[in-house]
Amino acid sequence: MTKDNMNNTYSDLVNQTFNFPQEDFKLVNNYLQYNGQDIKALIEKYGTPLKVSYLPKIGKQINKAKSMFATAFKKHKYTGKYHYCYCTKSSHFSFVVEEALKNDIHLETSFAYDIEIIKKLYAKKKINKDIFIICNGYKQKPYTQRIASLLNSGFKNVVPILDNKEELKAYIKSVKVPFNLGIRVAAEEEPNFPFYTSRLGIRAKDILEFYVDKIEGNEHRFQLKMLHIFLNKGIKDDIYYWSELNKVVNLYCQLKKICPELDSINIGGGFPIKHSLGFEYDYQFMINEIVRNIKVACTRNKVPMPNIFTEFGSYTVGESMAHIYSVIGQKMQNDRETWYMIDSSFITTLPDTWGIGEKFLMLPINKWDNEYQRVVLGGITCDSHDYYDSEEHINEVFLPKLGEGEPLYVGFFHTGAYQDQISGYGGIKHCMIPSPKHIIIGHDKNGKLVDWVYAKEQSAQSMLKILGY
């Protein structure tokens, strides 16, 4: 290495910009390791493009949140209970849900077919009939019928969350046993959102009247147990979040005085996850403040503190997955833009990068001792928007120069939430780019950490079959 480029390696760039190594990432023999896993060895074994699910991270996240809520409850002498729910829509895969269930949690559903998952889990003895099943979403008849079926079969803690006033009629007609229900409070959208109020839920100003007209007096058949709020942008320390949370807490205090059965608040919208090495978020502070705010309001109104439910989806599963690509070529299209072409597509594998401009934690796997340069990462579809050109902490992407020898491998980390659900796992992709091979890392029955193939790379034959050829 010459004197001129001594401080221009990719390793220098990272060390000058961030504290490194970090909890999930370190460099061993100039190759990146993720959660202690040798990514280079996985590439040599399975090739690229590659999706990797690291299951132990799921339990780690759940127990971290439980511990922080326990700390906050103790600090503020909070008398309600805490219930951790996993939001299944973030990743429905059996290996994800069953891994999460090992940690004494509950589940949240959003569509009719979720209920079929609940039935399968019960048949496999992964859950019992005491588990809380929080049923969200705008519900059509197939959904309400399945909810009724669960309630009628003895799932006593299934809680349908009313998204509109008419929904209650479906349960009155079809549920044969006493049941609990919740109401989703329609949130005001953030100031930069195109609409004022969420399309989901019942307006806060209508809920008191609805309770008196339709629920009060029918406690022998159904009881209002929960108020639910969901905020798109999740839990963050700003005026908007505290305003919306306090609106629901104040409504709880009002209702509690005439509805003694009401005993829970469900805080939908979860914690952010790490999408940059520079990520900073004080989880414990936010949990302390949520608990404190609820307690203060309840104390002021002289009502019991509610049980707190959370529905963490991205937080539960997001940090458990990585996408690994090879750089298969370099193109210099003008004086300013250097393109690195990957062996897959962002549109088909990480659709949020294309659809909502999401940024994921991106790091090279190798060549950290090479000089770095500004690049644009391009996918191999013919769509001009199939690219990745900025990071969460900076409006640019820097990666090592390709150099000689093995290809440059690039990892996108913490990609475990929503990407498979949005891209359509195993379906037809843009330009017929195949879904990559999917590897799972988890513990076998003896507790040993092993890796195995969950899904092979999608074949031409399987895609042609879907298309009717």
- pLDDT tens digits, residue range 360-403? 999 999 999 999 999 999 999 999 899 999 888 888 999 999 99
CB–CB of 47/263 below 8 Å?
no
Q: List beta partners, residue 158.
A: 133
State which residues form the domain around 95.
78-312
Residues 253-310 pLDDT 10s: 999 999 999 999 999 888 999 999 999 999 999 999 999 999 999 999 999 999 999 9
pLDDT of 438 over the 80 cut: yes
Mean pLDDT of the 133-143 span: 96
Q: Which tokens is 404 given?
A: 């000689």
* Residue 87 tokens, joined: 């939001």
Q: Are 270 and 145 in a shared domain?
A: yes
pLDDT tens for 187-228 read 876 666 666 677 788 998 999 999 999 999 999 999 999 999
- What's the average model confidence in pLDDT over 64-76? 98
Does 62 map to a domain? no
In the block, tokens 């600090």 appear at 75
Q: Are residue 271 and residue 301 in the same domain, yes or no?
A: yes
**26 plus 112 within the same structural domain:** no
Q: Are 18 and 26 in contact (CB under 8 A)?
A: no
Mean pLDDT (the chain) is 93
**Domain count across the chain:** 2
| Encoded tokens for 91 | 């990743």
Assigned domain for 63 exists:
no
Answer whether residue 65 is part of any domain: no
pLDDT of residue 2: 46
State residue 1's pLDDT score: 45
* Choice among 44-58, 87-101, 181-195, 208-222 with the minimum mean pLDDT: 181-195
Which one has a higher pLDDT value, 384 or 75? 75
- Residue 60 in any domain: the answer is no
| Same structural domain, 330 and 301 | no
Specify whether the CB–CB gap between 321 and 349 falls below 8 A. no
DSSP secondary structure of 172-195: HHH--S-EEEEEEBPPBPPTTSSS
Flag whether 325 is in a domain. yes
- What does the alpha-carbon distance between residue 348 and residue 422 come to, in Å, rounded to a whole number? 9
Residues 370, 440 share a domain: yes
Residue at a domain's end among 278, 312, 346: 312
Q: Which two tokens stand for residue 155?
A: 């799932």
Residue 189: per-residue pLDDT? 61
CATH number of the domain within which 224 lies: 3.20.20.10
Statement to judge: residues 162 and 89 lie in one domain:
yes
- Whether residues 169 and 278 share a domain: the answer is yes
Q: Span 408-434, mean pLDDT?
A: 93
Helix and strand element counts for the chain (H, E): 15, 21
pLDDT at 192: 65
Residues 339, 454 within the same domain: yes
Residue 389 CA to residue 181 CA, distance in Å, equals 46
Question: Is the residue at 69 inside a domain?
Answer: no
Residue 391 CB: number of other CB atoms within 10 A?
A: 18
Same domain, 361 and 240: no
- Is there a single domain that holds both residue 18 and residue 112? no
The pLDDT of residue 196 is 60
Share of the chain above pLDDT 70, in %: 97
pLDDT band at 234; cut points 50, 70, 90? confident
* Alpha helices per DSSP H over 5-160: 10-17, 39-46, 56-76, 94-101, 112-123, 141-152
Q: Which of 257, 279, 312 is the last residue of a domain?
A: 312
Answer yes or no: is pLDDT of 315 > 50: yes
Task: Say which CATH number the domain at 410 has.
Answer: 2.40.37.10
- Rg of the Cα trace of the chain? 24
Q: Are strands 222-230 and 264-268 parallel, antiparallel or unpaired?
A: parallel
DSSP 3: G
Token pair belonging to 199: 């399309």
Within this chain, do residues 179 and 275 fall inside the same structural domain, yes or no? yes
Would you say residue 61 lies in a domain? no
Confirm if 412 and 360 have CB atoms less than 8 A apart.
yes
Residue 4: is its pLDDT beyond 80?
no
Same-domain check for residues 205 and 121: yes
Rounded mean pLDDT, 149-164: 97
Instruction: Please tell me the pTM assigned to this model.
Output: 0.93
Domain boundary among 312, 347, 382: 312
If we measure between CA atoms, which residue out of 168, 175, 171 comes closest to residue 215? 168
435 inside domain? yes
Contacts of 234 (CB under 8 A, 6+ apart): 269, 270, 271, 272, 314
- The predicted pLDDT at position 3 comes to 43
